[in-house]
Structure formats: structure tokens, C-alpha cells
Structure 1
Amino acid sequence: MNFYQRYILVTLAIWFGLLTLATAQERPEVIEAYRNDSYGESVLRKTGIMDGNLVRTLYINQGEVGQWPNQPSGEWPKGTGHSYLDGVCLLVGARVLVDVNGAPLFITPIETAYREHFDRDPVTGEPWGWEPVPGYLNPSGDRPAVSNDPRSWPTLWPDAVFVALDQPSANWINQAEVNGEAGVDDDRDGVIDNFTYWHGFFGRGVKNADLETYFVIDDSKDREWSRAPYNYYPIKDDSARGGLGLRVEVRGFQWSHVLAEDNIFWLYDIVNISDTTYNQSVFGFLTDVGIGGTNDSGDDNAAFDLLLDIAYGYDDDGIGTSDFGSWSPTGYQGYAYLESPGVATDGIDNDMDGIIDERRDDGIDNDGDWAPYTDLDGSGSWDSGEPLNDDLGKDGVGPFDRQYNGPDEGEADGLPTPGEPDFDRTDVDESDQIGLNSMHIYRLIDGGGGNGWPKHDDGLWQRMSSGTQDTSLQRANLHMLFASGPFLLEQNSRERFSMALLYGIDLDDLVSNKITVQQIYNADYNFSRPPLKPLVRVVPGDGKVFLYWDDIAEESRDPFLPDSIGNPKKDFEGYMIYRSTEPQFNDIKVITDSRGTAVYWKPIAQFDLVNGIKGPDPIGINGARFWRGSDSGLRRSYVDTDVVNGQRYYYAVVSYDQGDPEFGEQGLQPTECSKVITEDLNGNILNIDINCAVVTPNAPAAGYVAPEITGDMDTPLEGIGTGSIQVEIVDPALIAENQTYQVIFESEGALPNYETATYGIYTLEGDSAVPVIADIDARSFGPANPSPLVDGFVVTVNIDTALAILPQETGWLIGNSNLDMIVQQHDQFPSLSVKWPADYKIIFSDSNIDTSFNSQVPVPFRVWNLSEDRRSEFELFDNDNTGDLSIGDKITIIEFVGTAFKFTYDILYYPPFNAIPRLPEAGDEFVIRTSKPFYSGDVFQFSTKAARSDRELAKSQLDEIKVVPNPYIAGASWEPRKIFGSGRGERKIDFIHLPQQCTIRIFTMSGK
């Protein structure tokens, strides 16, 4: 080794050593765990689709976002086929000193993965770049791991996750789902069959975004620089690992809130697991601008705004092309540069935030935004119910999270712990970021020419490390390259890089979206969280669709919005039901702002809490205001009868919150949960979120007999209540055969002062009533408050809450008397007056058959309590002092509360107007009816018959078999629209009224 080589190596060794003293590193056991992960494998490449808001794009779990000419690539708005992106890829490079035949040489490997013109093995064609690391997805699935589809997750995350988080793997096994029922949301977290918890950015099972994807890539397959004469191996004793020895944890985030619906965030955690400290490294992105579609890239314009840190592209003539022809106007696509690596050793406030040399791995809350628990009672320790704030412990989960399984290390200790919000790795401000250093916009040269394609390591290094900025170019097929660096990437260190892909109608709209993106980033990727998604079930019928859902959303809490004492706010407000004929729901997004831009979707039904929060929200967005409901009351089922048989419909039941007019300076609009139905390029459904459904109503098979419910719904089988019930079939397939049910009420308080409290639904098994569901709150009743679903039906109770005389039902029951018997509440002695929940009958005789209670006057009638089936006492007020019952007297019914008598109802024995009185005769009866709440033991009874097939009926309906449409000439209205690609797409005819079992034969015109 000559003097020059020794000088360089010794100098670098001293410099690196000094910096190592000043810089924290990943724990050795974490690096070891990362190294023990399997190498990245191209066979694990999966293409996913991010479609959690209005932006829809494919991505590949080797780091590409969009991929020309495949679609959807940067489609916006979702469902239009309007493409804005030909591809984006992650670039990470470093300057490395190697020995080439005894001479020192600096090489500049650039790690990436792209659709074309990047390095491959010249013999095998194997890609040399990022590849997905095994263990971070379901290897037998068809997509990378996404938060709303547990089928895409691994059975359990790799050990490296638990080592890095310093948490036991046992805490990540979701026992409620493991031990639960398949297809059921057993742990009530809005996800079905998630046997492990989502590996969220903010903790175990924590989902701050409406849609999140997560995957891990490494550069182990890059053999370009491990070949002779360079022979560079990042881990010296691992000749199977090429590249720079880098591992990248990638996350994509989408929020569906109206303010954030035009953006996707991409976050990259890059870990150097090599044996080398790279004194000069660069991170960046390369994008192939594609404004206007796959075949419209030649007239793109691009520019960079230094003040906003945003690069953007737009089409020169404002006209795009798609498989449907041209479209206009085209909008703007931008790349917001959010987070860059930090330098914590130069004594400079690189990001100009007032803090020098902050870092997210030093165990210090550099910016002071971490909040300990709130000690409301001053006891000196946390007590149940007190706000934990950020003091959640390593797992980032607190008592109000569904996945909470008890306190963990660091919880409620008053000290920041790694893994908690607003501290170290979860706090974006705890890094002295160097920002964007280089920006280049240049012409894309077809065929891989020039020096700006991913295969051009040296050319990309020069651009990325140059510190120069070429900020605009017009009317060309463009590449945009933006980067941070050079900076020091230490051995065993972690750095972060992030950007947002955003869209706008024009530049002003794009800038507005950049402001929202920046706010979400500044809040550590937090934003108003909608209520949990309800689990929706749908059943197609004949000209109708039945929908029903659970109540999980109603218990949701939003950690972004604290309640009055600081705990996550319980801010659920209601449900909206959307119905569309396309999976993106674009045809019902018709509520516009003052600029004419569609902002909100129009529901077919809406149900909200009765709490005074109603009407348009006071905040709005550009004149459009979210409709919060009309205090209608909640329902959890709906029957849609405005449908056409044979038409495919897409439904979503979205939960929404109240918003917060007092939040911040401008307030916050209500937030509704996302609705995602993912389809492939041919329109085939790939995934349906749990709050969505795809259904086609149709005529039933020949011989079909619908289920039946029989019974008296207006009068209790037993009891005194005067209300009624209604039984509504929601899922015909679940209606049981020959099953008898009872609805039994419970009340609080004794007669006469009581109120209906709860009711239950029971099956009648012999003489025993077996509870199916009990303790349903009866205080919220009526059509807006049906029961939970039971065996395919729901029960609605109608309760007469007031004790009152029913004048229309009170009068002569038997006989021809025309006396005007006026019934009223007793008012002569108010302190003795009480309303009594009973019906009465006065039975007349031709001789004295009873005696009044106080005056002991013999009378020719008896008062009978019909509700309790017993005689009632009464008093005769002998107004004419005749000593017997005569016209003008008053009969007052008496009941007893304990031993004290009370006057209830007065019956005035008055003559008719302008007529000769006809006195009652023996056997005549006068009835008094009152309205009464249900009392304990009041019972309704009804029976069900299941749907069935009737063979004789089926034979008689054979003439009703039809093929629709007939004739089939050009197409049918229900055929799905094909957004991407050429050709007609799916063609569809329907056969209706077929028998349950039959054979269909289709012939050509020639009879074949």
C-alpha cells in the first residue's frame, strides 16, 4: 500500500471514529436480526394498488410506484382512467473506496429498481437492485401487505420486527381472532381474521391512516460491484450479499378525508447493515413524468418551487389521452419533498427549526413535544381513566385501543420511551434534516441513452450529489430527479426519506394540497381519524337489496381530537349508505363546492345520533359543507328498493364523526371512513373492504317462496303495554323454519310510576323462553332504533311512553245507552290523584251489585280492572244527593299505592245533548282505554317460516323464464365499464326465473 492509500484510510478511520463517538447507532442485536433476515427475492415481487382515496396507483414491493405502460399508474381521480405517472423509483447511492488491483478507486453504486434500463446480470438477466425481503407479506398472496386486508399479512411478522421494537412476539398474536369464528370480527377492531396485529408505523395494530402498505426491501441481489475487479462486499464475511448492504422499510399512507384525498405519502426508513460507514451517500427519487396518459408524454412541462419544496408537472396543451379517447382539462401532479436525512454533528441548524443537531435516536425528546400522562387527581401516579397522552409504552397502544392487552414497559411512567408517539423514531422533527440539495429536470432519452437512467450509476451520482437545481423544462418527455446529500451514512445507522405524491386541478389547488400534506407530516403523519368501519352484510333480493351492519363504529375514539379531559374523543356521529354502479363511486360524487368541483358523495340514506349535531357543518371547504344528518336516530339495517334486477351495484356503509369546529384556527370538517373496492385492469374484483359490498339483485328461482313472519304485532300476548312491535326481514336466508320467538320487556319502578327499560328477544323452546339477545335499551325506540340482527330479522318497538286516556277507544262497549260518559283524570283532590296504567270496564246490572268505597252507597254496577283482571274500588260522588246513581253523578276509580288509596279517573254520568237519555241496562258495559308503557313481563309472540322451494309452483312458472336483454344487440346497461385497455370488456346476459337446478345450453346461429 503506498503513502497516498495509507493517508486516505487513516484519515477516514480517525474521522469516522470521532463521529461514531458523537452518534448513536442501532443496537447490535437489531443489526444482527436484520442480517439474519433472508435475502431479498425477485420471486416475491407483488404488485399492489393504493386506492384509499382519490389517488389510485399500482406499486411494486421492490420500490416502484407506477409502471408504464401498466395501469393504473398515478390515476386521478380514481375511476376516471386519467393517468399522470409513468413511474417513480427510489434511489440510494454511496461513494465507496475500493482496491482495484492495488490502486484505490472510488465507485458510486446507485441502488434502485425500475421497469427498464437498470442494471441486470448480463448472463442471466437477473435484476441487480432492490428486492422484497421474505417474511413481510403473505408469500402465497397476490399483493404486498396492506392494512385493510389481513390475507396479505404474514402469519406472524419476522423476529427482526420484535427485536427492533424490543417487544415479545407473543404480544402480537391476536388471541381473540385465533380463538374466534372465521369471517367474524371477533376482536371488534374493524378487520376480519387478523390473527396477528398490523405492523403499524405508530405501534402494534395502530392504523393512523385509512390505508397503509408496508414492505421491506434490500439490495443484496446487486452483483454489479461485487464482481471483479471491484470485489466489494458490504459484509465482508458474507459473499452472498451484494449491493451496499442496505435495508429499506417502506410505507405508503393514504387518508380519505376531503382535505387529504388527493395525496399518497411514501416513507422510507433506510438502515445501513453493512460493515462500512459511507462518508458520502445520497437519497433521492427518479420519476418519469406522464401527465395526460400513457401515450401523451411528449408535451409535459415540469418545474420546481424552492420555497414550497415541491416539484410538479403539467400537460402543455391540457389534453390527455386514454383508452376512451382524449380528455381535458388535465390537472397537476406534484412531488412534495417532506423528510430528508439529518446531520447531527455539524453544529448547524440545517432545517432551520430552532434546534441544532437534533436526532431521533439519542433517547432525548429534542423538540419537547412528548406529553406524559395527565395526573388529574395529583396522586403522583397514573390512575385508570386519566389521559395517558403520549405515555403509552413501547407498543404505542393504550386502554382506548382495541388491541390493548394491558400495560407494557414505559407505559404511564412519566418518561419518553422508544415506540411512544412524539419521541425518537415516531417524531419527524427529531432530526436535523439537510433538506433537498439537488433537483434536475431533463429530457428522457428513449432506448436508455444519455446518462440519466437508473443503470447510469455515475451519471445519477453526479446529478444527485451536485447540489445544483435545474428547475424547469417544457414540452418534452421528462425525467425529474430530486435528492438529498451527500451526507454521512454510518454503519448500523438508520436514516429516513419521505415524499408525497399529490394532485390538483390547477397549481393553486396543488399548493393547497401541499399545505395539507405538510400539516399531516408536521403532526408526525397524524390526521383526524374516522370512526372504525362497520362490518357490512348484504343480501340480494327481487328488486331489492338488504343491508345490515354491526355497531363497532359507535364506540370509536379519535386520538387526534382529545375530549374534555384529554382522552381520545368519542366522536362518532352517524352512518351514510352509498350506492353506485361503479366501484369508485364516482357517479354519485355530485355535491360540489363554489368552484364547481365535486367534493362529497350523495348517500341514498343517512342515520345519525339524536344529539343536536345536525345540518351542514359550519366549517366547509370552498363553499361545500358536509351534511351531518337531521337527528334521525341510528339504524343498522336498510332495505334498498330502488334497484333494477340484473344491475351490479356497489355499496358502502361509511361511518362518520362530528368534526370539530373549534379545532385549530379554522376548525375541522367531519371525517368519514374510507370505502375501498379494488379491481384489476379487467374489472375483476380483487378486494372488498369490510364496509363495502358488491351485489346484483335478481328475480328468484322458479318456485321460490319467500320467508314469512306471522303473529300479532299490535297487541301483547301478555301484559299491559299498549305499544306495538314490527319485525323486518333483513336477511331472508337466515330466517328459521317453524321457530317461535317472544319479545319480553323489563321495566324500572313499581306501578304506577315506572318506565320501560329494556327488552329481549327469546326463542320459545317448549314452555321455556331462551334468550337470544337481552337487555336491549328500550329508551331509544321507534323506527330509527331497530334491534340488532337476530336470525335474519330485526325488531322495532313502538312504546307509548305517556299514561293517557285514549278517547277514541273509550266508550260504550255493549248496550244502547246514549249517556255521555265523559272520562278524565281526577282533579278534585290533586294530592290524591294519580294516573294508573290500566284499562277498565264498568259493568251495569238491574240491581245493586257493589258498594262505593268511602260513602258506602249501593250501586247497580261494578268496576273491573281489565289490565290486571280484578275488581277495582270506586267512589260515587252523589251530586244530587239522591242516595243512588243518577244523571249528574260522578264515578271515580280508586287504586292503592301500598295501603294508601288514590283517585285515578273520573267518569261523569251526564245526559246526551238534545236527546232523551237512555239509561244503561243490565249487561251493558262501558270501557275505558289508556295508553301505557310496557311493564315487566309484557310479551309479544311471533313465528317464522323459512324460504322454501315449491315444485308445483316452479312448474307453473316455467313460462316466466326469460333471457335479458333479448335481443342482445350492442350491449346491456349493467355491463361493467372497462377503464383501462382496449376491447369491450365483459359481456353479460341474464337468465331469470330458472328452476333451482337446470341445464342451460347456448347455441350459435348455425345451431352448434
Structure 2
Amino acid sequence: PAHPLYDPAYLEEDFEGYRVYRSTSGLPGSFELLASWDKSSATPRHVRIQQVAGSPFQGTVTYDEFWTENWFLAVYGTELFTGQEYLVQLKADGSFFVSNLTLGTDVPASEVQEHWYEVGEPPYVFEMFSWDFNPYFEDSLPTSRSTTERIADGTYDDYFDDCWLMVGGMAINFKGDDPSYVPAEDIIFKITGYLEEPEGDNTALGYAYVDTGLINGMTYWYDVTAYDFQPFSSPHSLENGIRGIAVTPRSHATGIVEGSAYEIQHTSASGFLSDGTVIITVVEPLVLTGHNYNVVFEGDYWHLIDVTDNDTVLKNQTNISGDDNYPVVDGMVVKVMGPPIAFNDDLTELSSEGLSWLFNEAYMGGRNAVNNGNYRNFLLKFVAGPGDTTAEGLYQDDQGNTPMGIFLADPTLASVPFELWDLGMILDDPADDVRLWPLMYDFYDATFHTDNYFLILDKNNQGNTYAEDFFSNPDHDPASAYWGFDTGDPFSRYDWDYRFAFSETDPVWEKGDSVLMITNKPNTSDDVFAFKTNKPYISTDLVNLDDIRVVPNPYIVRNNWEPSRDYSRLAFTRLPDKCTIRIYTMAGDLIRTLRHDSAEFDGNENWDLMNKNNQKIAAGIYIYHVESDYGEIIGKFAVIR
């Protein structure tokens, strides 16, 4: 980041893939493709807006990617985005007229409120939105102007400051520099949607390539290029140029024990282990410290502690996705992973085929569950069937009891056919099981329906266990912001941890049915992942001087690894880290002495085939003698000219 060419926005730039090239000469045109990886674009949809007629719009016209991606397409589906081209005419009378240039048709204004949600496309329409409390979805969201009243008075397709025009799955925002601005003449925009075109098979990215069939001591040139589909350029596929970086593979010193990280141990002060994991990849073995480390957690962050030096080497890390955006520290990549705050769908069980999920999720993205540390398991147990009711229509279990729940209609008490239990962290331990009040959205009346939204509350808050009076908690007062949700206080619904609903098309349940809900267990401050590292070192037990080789042997005229005809080279490989190499003629004359001393456990020593008088050696057979602290060995090689 301190480099003057560093781009702080590089992580935000989209790219599609990598290609790996290799050359044996480094010359232009000599690089061969070794591997290619590609992925679906992180932003597979692009929009271009151009004003093509009329006086300049006095403000901004922008594509609202956030609401397009995170609301309209997230709720309906990405097929709503057509990738087509439109002409949008903002008329002097303040209304819009839209044409689809791709299909050659006019696009009328929607006469159905939330057409994108209720109908989808086709038929193709455009729809105007304002920012307001959306009564259709009961939240603060873009709000459709295609209401009965606006359609009747003809204002449903009118321009107003800071409006959104939704067409072809694109939310286009019009905002004047002056809120009172109204164009005095017709203005026409061309709006083009582009869908990402894959450059490969979308096989996902690879982050490492292992080349094989190489010769130790020979120099190769490699390059990694990035490419992307760019909708607004020609050609659409852009790739950076090839330059090449010289790489010379070399053998390790004999007897080396490579550095590693090992013995990852997961412990928890509470005795309940999270579902998190830690994976360590050694990427720079020579940089490993040989120290012990702990991964610890604090709120939304994790830290990497060097226990040996009592030093924090990574602080306030938030990435727990398991992707490849983790830093390299002390020669290793420490990937800390943790599950999202949610139900574990692989472990959650529905006992009846008559029930299926409409959804099951952590409320507000798990924000409250995090606050409450509520990662326990839950059981919904149907103690009455559809017909097990009293004369008053109240559900009744086998003991004649009437299970009750809290409905949001008043709020008020109403009969339900089930019991909701917090099973704690250990499923087979009834000692920590607590029955909860079920809290339900009411879409019809104060009567149980399977597609009501069922809310699971935190057992540690007053009034939430079934043994307590729910309304004994002052915050549960019907007049409090707890019910209406205070947008200024995101934790006003502080104990609504999880919610779920069953599909309204599958309303069948029977007495004895149950739903076991297992939640993900995220990493908490109780969790610690400890591991050890060792630095690379030479083990005398593993040193084997018989592994020493001379390559190539025989040496013929010159090697294809040599950069020019004026340069000759052969290599002694798999040497000890420190040794002396003496080269003799068959007559016993010493012609060259080489000192090999590598602090990086390099087992190669190159020789330029020059004698101690800086003269080229003659063809023939030569003797070499390697002397080291581990012993000595004699061998021979041939030079053919």
C-alpha cells in the first residue's frame, strides 16, 4: 500500500480469470499457455446511460446497482434483467415514454402495483418508484407509484425529483441538482443493459499452479495475466500483456525437513466448540518462525497471536469466508472460517412430509442472535392435530392443556397447536431445555396458520420463557417501539433472534409432528485455535550424500538451458547446505574448487566449466569430490565437445 502505484480500489475491480504462460527463452511469441481459470463475474450485469437528445439534464441519471441487485433481482430473480436497449423519453409535460430498441416495441407504464414482483416480465412495462415506507412490503423500500389513485389521476408515470424508473430489470435514478427542476423540453436517454459473456467455462478460479517436467537449474520465464469481459470496450475481452519473470528451479539441500504448521487444536472455555475451522497453508517456508500461535475471537473480529513472542501479528480480521483474500504473515496463510448465523439446513429435520419450509433464517441477518449469543437448538412439537380443538376452537393437547402463543395483531394471546422449546447446546440433555413463548406475525386473524412468521426469542430476556408472563417485560408493552420497530434503533427488536414459516401450499400437520432446528455455531470469544510451526532445518539422519547428482551428465557441447553460446553451465544438485566441491582430471590434477554455503537450504551449485585459470575445460571424464560435515563422496561426469 505504500507504493506510489498502489490502487486502493483494486479489490473492487472486477475480473473474470487468470491465465498462466511459460517460455524457455523469454522472447515475445515464445510463451505457451499452461493453465486458465475463470469465474462468473462478480458484477454480471452492466448498464450504460447516454443522453442522446434535448438540453442537458440538470442533474444526474444513474443506474442504481444496489437496489437493482439487492432488492429487485434478489427477490424476483436475475432473469428480470433483460440485457436489452431502451430509449427513455422524459417529456416536457413531466411524463415518461419508453421504447425497447432491442425488440422494436413501445413499453407502457405499469398499471399493476409492484408489477415486477406480482407478474414479472414479459409482458414488458416500466414502473415508477419513490423512496417511502412501502405498505405493500411493510418496510422502508422503493415504493411503486402504480397505485389505484395515481393510475386514476394519471400521475403514475410522471417525473419527480429523485425518482426511480424500473425497466428491463434496471433501476434508473433521476435526481435534479435543484429539487424543483423540471425539464423545459423533451430529453431522450439511451439505456443499455449488458449481460456478462463468459470467456471460459466458469470453472472457478485457481490460485496455484504446479508445473512439472522441469529441469533443476534451467531458467524458465513465467507470466500470469488477468482478463475480463468489458461490455463497453472493443474487443470485449481485455487481457494484460505478457512480460515474463525468470524462474530457476533448484533442488533442496539433502536432509532438509521443510517448515510446516501442525497440531491445530480447537478448544472452548465454555466446553461448546463452534462450527468454525482453521486451515494453515505454508507459502514461504524459509520465513516460518518456529513459534506457537493462537487464533482468538473478539466480537466480530479474530486475531492471530504469536504466543512465543506474546505478539499480535494479525489484528481485527473479519474474513471468515474461506476465500483467498487472507494475508500472508510469518510465511503462512491462516484461513479462519466460521458459518453464518443461520439454521443448519443439513441438520435441521422436519418429521412430516406434510410440512415444508417457506423460509428459516436468522432474524435481521443474525444481528440479534449475535448480540444475544443465541446459537442454541430448538424444537417445535405439535401437541395437537388440526381437529384437536375445544368448542371455542382452541387447540388442546392430550392433557387438556391449551398451548398459547403471542400474536402481533394486538398483540394478544391466541391458541396454537404446538410447543416451542429451546434445547440448549446439548440435544440429549433435558436439563437445559426451556419452553418459550412463540411470537408470530399475523397475516389473517388471531388464529394459527402454518404460513405465519414464527419468531424464536432469546430465553435470557424477561418474559420470553413460557413459565413467565410475556407482558411482564416493560419493553413488551403493546405501545412500545418493540412492536413497530424503531428504525433509529436497529436493536429495538433486541430479542427476535430467528424466524421461520412453512409453505402456505403445504398446511398439513398432525399431532406428534416435530421440527428439530439446529443452528450454526459461530466462533465466539470462548473459542481458541492453537497450532505450532517449525522452521526448516537439516536432519543429520536424513542426509544422504548418494543423492548428489551432476546434471546434465554427460554435458554435450552446450545445454538448452544456457542463455547463449558463450556461456556454459552444469550443476551439482542435492548437495548438503554447506560443502566444498573439488573437481579433478582423470590424472588427478585439481582444476577447480567450489565453495557451497546456502543459508536457504539450496542444494544446487552451478559451474561454468571454467578452470581455476579461467579457461574452458577440455572434453573428457572428470572426478568430483564433495566434502562436508556429514561426510564425503566421490563421483564422476563427462564433458563432450
Give the TM-score range, shorter chain: 0.3 to 0.5
TM-score normalised over the length of structure 2: 0.41
- Structure of higher CA gyration radius: 1
More strand by share: 2
TM-score normalised over the length of structure 1: 0.28
